[in-house]
Amino acid sequence: MNFLKAVNYRIQMSSIIKSGKQISILLIIINLLNNTVSFGQNKAINPIIYADVPDASIVRVNDTYYMSSTTMHLSPGLPIMSSKDLVNWKLESYCYDTLVNNDAMNLNNGQSTYGRGSWASCIRYHNGMFVVSTFAATSGKTHIFTSKSIKGPWKEQSFAPAYHDHTLFFDEDGKTYLIYGVGKLNLLELKPDLSGIMPNVEEKVLIENASAPAGSNIMLKAEGSQLFKINGKYYLFNITWPRGGMRTVVIHRADKITGPWEGRMGLQDLGVAQGGLIETPDGRWFSYLFRDNGGVGRIPYLVPVEWKDGWPVIGENGKVPMTLNLPANKSLIPSLVHSDEFNRKKGEPKLPLVWQWNHNPDNKLWSVTERNGFLRLKTGRIDTAFVFAKNTLTQRTIGPQSSGSTKLDISKMKEGDYAGLCLLQKNFGLVGVKIENGKAIILMTSANSGKPVELERIPLKNKTVFFKAECDFNNRIDTAHFFYSLDGKVWKKIGESLKMPYTIPHFMGYRFGLFNYATKQTGGMADFDWFRISDKISK
């Protein structure tokens, strides 16, 4: 509650008393207390980012924090963000435009890389350079990116194989290491130039069973390694998952990187796990972790850390607090998601950083300059399924609720074309226009059942139409509704509600997307006038 609101209550109380109205002052006080957290309080709340930002790795350079995260099959990929307060983050760059060119990443020959692409990354700052590493089953390689500036350009080196969930570590003796693995964790030394594994240096088993601190009945063996050196000791963070339990943080420590290592359970609350440690400039410590949170995705949390007997103790009495002694969360709009009118001034990037393509795009088949003020998506091949269509342009959904809307011009669409607004995941939902027998049909398609079903069809005479999707992630409701409008003012619901489960095949939170694909012939065009995102939905 702010100061002006509090003053208003005091004036309200005074006027009631003076007028002699028989209203209980006690009720007014209760109302005041119910609308007040505490005077002067302006704290951060968990989750710090209510959106799909999993597998975070964070480093601080002077007074600025930098974070890398996972976006897997999307392009460009491996997003880099910055923050001054650990709570409010903005996109700065991507480490790559294209991870690899193959059939899976290009959605060719019936192949895709949903749920794969690049996974858990590691960001470091070493000798004046930002260094970010990742790995990908899609490429079969480990990839390392370097840049003097967080904005890039990023230089890439890669080598086989793909070392699973590795942590990159520059030690004080000048050696560079990778720790990787699942359950059994291994130690490798890298060449000084990061181009590959150091020859003639034997790989070492670091910890035979890193899951052991969480018990013997383990569903997910320890992975997600992140290594830190603090006050001369090494601390290794991992995630594991006991059967019948929840995602759990395990921590190992050692005096030497080669061991011996001793371990203990670090945190077991709300399933908040996988991450590492970060220190603020004023000497406070936090653990950055994330939580599986249904359809919106895997969302980041910060948990306070105290040091006891040389161990980081995570949480408040072993629990994840919902408020933090850090600056308050600001809106994720426009720092992580953003509306776009598709008007481009000279020198501006064609697409802001908030946009990512579903898999590798075909850059010949889209434009924001061919028709001024519009995103034009062209068809270049025949597709029979939405999830294999090229050039679907996406942004994150955000919680606890969000809506995305667009205005579509269908004038240049061809027979069989289907274009509009989507919510992308395995169980996707679409609302758009399909051209059938020379006529335009507003069509809502749902994959609620796991397979796409056309639920409602409405003839369209206009050349323009508006679409909207509203997502409700409150209390894990994870439900969306689709709408259309002929004038952008009066909205009509179409089809049925879409349940939005988080599915492992796609391994990603739901995304808003703009799409256009051909089912009969190529050469059609769909022109999107704008895309607008909001953190509000209709009630």
Q: Where are the domains of the chain?
A: 3-41, 44-327, 356-534
Over range 231-245, report the average pLDDT.
97
pLDDT (mean) for 227-240:
98
Which strands sit side by side in the sheet containing 184-190, from one edge to the other?
A: 167-170, 176-182, 184-190, 204-207
Specify the pLDDT at position 23: 37
Judged against a pLDDT cut of 90, whether residue 14 lies above it is answered with no
pLDDT band at 7 (very low <50, low <70, confident <90, very high): very low
Residue 246 exposure: Cα atoms within 13 Å on the Cβ side: 13
Q: Please, which pLDDT band fits residue 120 given cuts at 50, 70 and 90?
A: very high
Residue 364, pLDDT above cutoff 80: yes
Q: Is the pLDDT of residue 2 over 60?
A: no
Which residue, chain included where needed, has tokens 């109205």? Answer: 21
13-27, 343-357, 424-438, 494-508: the lowest-pLDDT one = 13-27
**DSSP H stretches of helix in 22-98:** 25-34
Asked whether the predicted pLDDT for residue 225 surpasses 90, the reply is yes
Mean pLDDT of 34-50: 70
Mean pLDDT (whole number) for 367-387: 97
Q: How confident is the model at residue 41 (pLDDT cuts 50, 70, 90)?
A: low
- pLDDT at residue 338 greater than cutoff 50: yes
Q: The pTM is what?
A: 0.91
pLDDT at 539: 72
Structure confidence at residue 56 as a pLDDT band (50, 70, 90) = very high
Residue 289 CA to residue 302 CA, distance in Å, equals 6
Q: What value does the mean pLDDT take over residues 83-97? A: 98
Q: How far apart are CA 65 and CA 155, in angstroms?
A: 21
Tokens of 238: 């991992």
- Mean pLDDT (whole number) for 359-374: 97
Looking at 91-130, list the stretches that DSSP marks H as alpha helix, in order from N- to C-terminal side: 103-106
Please state, rounded to an integer, the average pLDDT across all residues of the chain. 93
The overall longest dimension of the chain from CA atoms, in Å, is 91
CA neighbor of 359 nearest in space, from 133, 528, 520, 511: 511
Higher pLDDT pick, 12 / 225: 225
Are 267 and 273 spatial neighbours (Cβ–Cβ below 8 Å)? Answer: yes
- Specify the range with the lowest mean pLDDT, choosing from 102-106, 343-347, 484-488: 343-347
Report which residue type is found at 212. Answer: A
CB 291 within 8 A of CB 297: no
Predicted confidence band of residue 3 (pLDDT cuts 50, 70, 90) = very low
Mean pLDDT of 227-233: 97
Q: Is the pLDDT of residue 4 over 90?
A: no
Residue 24's pLDDT band, with cuts at 50, 70 and 90, is very low
**Which H helix or E strand runs over 7?**
helix 3-19
Element (H, E) at 511: strand 511-517
- Is residue 5 helix, strand or coil? helix
**What pLDDT does 25 receive?**
41
Q: What is the pLDDT of residues 166-203, one digit of tens each?
A: 999 999 999 999 999 999 999 999 999 999 999 999 99
> Which residues lie closer than 8 Å to 300 by C-beta, 6 or more apart?
47, 48, 49, 53, 54, 56, 288, 289, 290
- Asked if 98 and 119 touch (Cβ cutoff 8 Å), the reply is no
Q: What is the CATH number of domain 356-534?
A: 2.60.120.200
Sheet holding 248-254, edge to edge: 218-230, 233-242, 248-254, 262-267
Q: What is the C-alpha to C-alpha distance for residues 228 and 278, in angstroms, rounded to an integer?
A: 9
CATH topology for 44-327?
Tachylectin-2; Chain A (2.115.10)
Helix, strand, coil percentages (3-state) for the chain, rounded to 5, are 10, 45, 45
Q: Crossing angle, helix 25-34 and helix 3-19, to 10 degrees?
A: 170
Taking only the tens place, the pLDDT of each residue in 277-327 is 999 999 999 999 999 999 999 999 999 999 999 999 999 999 999 999 999
